Amino acid sequence: MHGEYKVPGGKLVVVDLDVVQGRIANFRLAGDFFLEPDEALAAIDGAVNGLPAESDTKAIAAAVRAALPDDAVLLGFSPEAVAVAVRRSLARATSWRDYQWEIVHAPAVPPVMHLALDEVLTGSVAAGLRKPTLRFWEWEENAVVIGSFQSVKNEVDPDGAAKHGFEVVRRITGGGAMMMEKGSVVTYSLYVPADLVQGMTFADSYAYLDEWAILALQDLGIDASYVPLNDITSPKGKIGGAAQKRLGSGAVLHHVTMSYDMDGQKMTEVLRIGREKISDKGITSAAKRVDPLRSQTGLPRAEIIERMKRQFTTMYGAEPGDITPAEYAAAEQLVADKFATPEWLYRVP
């Protein structure tokens, strides 16, 4: 069995192994990482050999860490990265280059339609009706998009939302509320086969699926990095956040919203940002929590999106795609049956 794991911001970890009578055998670690002393490589191989094949990432990482010499130095990877590669090999996970990718950048649709398209397109990938896809959203209407498990009354100030013309909608992924003002955010969704993140925890998969975006931001001159669980940030402040849902049908929805421009005062009027949410960030002003891409790049929003498309295509290969009439029709039906209904929006009042 063969497994690979590119550490976000780090190096490639490659493992080869057999399973004999329920245990890992003939294990070999390789990659473009740095490791000292040389003897540490054999120590890692020895630690993994003989482990039960059902060992989880925590147990594998613990075995590797315990076997390392006291003076061992690991650069570009970690015992946890070895464990992820092992689990990916055992699950026969795929990699980005195993797929043909499409990039969709279609005209704006209403907020509820965006949310319905996320569910429909993820299902299309799961059913083999669509290639794995990166989709950029366009906005002509303002919306507050709350997480699947959030309370409407706790997150949104109805007077502020009405004053500034923001519709309130609920997505199928967890996480926090996002204020989507037209022309002021960069939002993208990834619809990927579940095999791409096999063997990864949710935390590992978040950074893995967004590595290309981090590199695109760095290419734009932003000192961007990932902060677990789901924040994209820079030394000047938070840039955006990610959310994810793994569907039982065999595909994963992963989407990200980054702030391009922001009216901090408006945000505090539309969103009810509690004191706990502010205090755990070590800051006192909600308006300072998000640092827009515009201020860090000086580039038009459209240019940032084009540079992101270029980065994704360079790394993984991709062709322009579109949403089919059948997918639009399915999404419209889903809006009527689910996303536009008060039962869905107020399932957590």
* 316-335 per-position pLDDT tens digit: 999 999 999 999 999 999 99
pLDDT value at position 201?
Answer: 87
Q: Which one-letter DSSP state was computed for residue 194?
A: G
pTM beyond 0.75: the answer is: yes
pLDDT > 70: what percent of the chain?
A: 95
Report the chain's mean pLDDT, rounded to a whole number: 94
- For residue 307, pLDDT beyond 80: yes
Which pLDDT band, with edges at 50, 70 and 90, does 285 fall under?
low
Average pLDDT over residues 323-349: 98
Which pLDDT band, with edges at 50, 70 and 90, does 286 fall under?
low
* d(C-alpha 296, C-alpha 37), whole Å: 41
Q: What is the DSSP string of 101-156?
A: -EEE-PPP--HHHHHHHHHHHHHHHHTTSS--EEEE---SS-EEEE-TT--HHHHB
Which pLDDT band, with edges at 50, 70 and 90, does 249 fall under?
confident
Average pLDDT over residues 234-261: 94
Q: Which domains does the chain have, with CATH numbers?
A: 2-90 (3.30.390.50), 96-345 (3.30.930.10)
Q: What is the largest CA-CA distance in the chain?
A: 66
Which pLDDT band, with edges at 50, 70 and 90, does 234 fall under?
very high
Q: Are 67 and 83 in contact (CB under 8 A)?
A: no
pLDDT value at position 92?
Answer: 92
- For residue 123, pLDDT beyond 90: yes
Average pLDDT over residues 32-43: 98
pLDDT value at position 283?
Answer: 46
Which pLDDT band, with edges at 50, 70 and 90, does 287 fall under?
low
Average pLDDT over residues 302-312: 98
pLDDT value at position 244?
Answer: 97
Which pLDDT band, with edges at 50, 70 and 90, does 280 fall under?
low
pLDDT value at position 248?
Answer: 84
- For residue 289, pLDDT beyond 80: no
Average pLDDT over residues 326-348: 98
More confident residue, 273 or 184: 184
Beta strands in the chain (DSSP E): 2-6, 12-20, 23-31, 34-36, 73-75, 102-104, 133-136, 143-146, 167-170, 178-180, 185-193, 225-227, 231-234, 237-247, 251-259, 319-321
